[in-house]
Structure 1
Amino acid sequence: MVNLKNDKSLLDIKKLAITKHLNFLLGSGVSTPAIPLMSAYQDDDVDTRNKKILESVKQTSKSLLDNDCANVVDSVLNDYEKLMLNILNILNLSNSRQIPKAVNIFTTNYDLFIEKAIDVLSLSHRFVFNDGTTGYFKHYLDSANYNKTVAYRGLNDNYSDEIPMINLIKPHGSINWKKENDYILVERHI
Structure 2
Amino acid sequence: MGTSVDGISPDRLRIIVQDSHLNFLIGAGTPSAFFGLLGNVEDTLTEVAESNADDDVKAVVRASIQAYFFDSVLMPNVKVVNRHADAEEVLTSYARFLRTINRILLKRHSSILAKQANVFTTNVDMVFEVAFEQMAIDFSDGFSGKIRPRFDLGDFNTIRLRMASRFEQRSEVPVFNLVKIHGSAGWLQEKRSAEKTEIVFDHGLSLVVETQTALDSARGDLIAIDDSKEVDAAALIARASSGAVPPTVTAFTEAYEKLGIVNPDKQKFATTVLHETYYELIRRFANELEKENSVLFVHGFSFRDEHLRDVVVRAARSNPTLQVIVFSYSRGDLADYQKLIPETDVKNSNVLFLLPPEPEDGEDERVAKLDVVTTDYFAPIVADKFPVPDQRIELDIRLASEEGTRV
TM-score under structure 2 normalisation? 0.40
1:178 aligns with 2:252: no
Instruction: Say which SS state the counterpart of residue 70 (structure 2) adopts.
Output: helix
Aligned to 2:34: 34
Aligned to 1:160: 170
Letter of the aligned partner of 1:186 in structure 2? G
Cα distance between partner residues in 1 of 2:101 and 2:9: 19
Where does the alignment leave 5 or more consecutive residues of structure 2 unmatched?
1-6, 46-61, 187-204, 212-257, 262-273, 281-407
Q: Aligned-residue CA RMSD in angstroms? A: 2.7
CA 1:158 to 1:65, structure 2 compared with 1: closer, same or farther past 3 Å?
closer
Letter of the aligned partner of 2:33 in structure 1? P
Higher strand fraction: Structure 1 or Structure 2? 1
CA 1:29 to 1:178, structure 2 compared with 1: closer, same or farther past 3 Å?
same
Aligned to 2:9: 9
Instruction: Report the CA distance between 1:20 and its aligned residue.
Output: 1.6
Higher CA-based Rg: 2
Cα distance between partner residues in 2 of 1:60 and 1:88: 27
Instruction: Report the CA distance between 1:18 and its aligned residue.
Output: 2.4
Aligned to 1:22: 22
Instruction: Say which SS state the counterpart of residue 132 (structure 2) adopts.
Output: helix
Instruction: Say which SS state the counterpart of residue 106 (structure 1) adopts.
Output: strand
Letter of the aligned partner of 1:12 in structure 2? R
Where does the alignment leave 5 or more consecutive residues of structure 1 unmatched?
1-6
1:8-41 deviations in whole A, cap 9, x for unaligned?
Answer: 8321211221222100000000111111111398
Q: Is the 8 A contact 1:38 1:49 kept in 2?
A: no
Instruction: Say which SS state the counterpart of residue 30 (structure 1) adopts.
Output: coil
Letter of the aligned partner of 1:55 in structure 2? D
Aligned to 1:115: 129
Aligned to 1:62: 78
Instruction: Report the CA distance between 1:82 and its aligned residue.
Output: 1.2
Q: Is the 8 A contact 2:74 2:124 kept in 1?
A: no
Aligned to 1:88: 102
Cα distance between partner residues in 2 of 1:74 and 1:53: 22
1:59-115 deviations in whole A, cap 9, x for unaligned?
Answer: 320111222231xx3212211111111110111111352200011100000111111
Letter of the aligned partner of 2:36 in structure 1? P
Letter of the aligned partner of 2:23 in structure 1? N
CA 1:49 to 1:38, structure 2 compared with 1: closer, same or farther past 3 Å?
farther
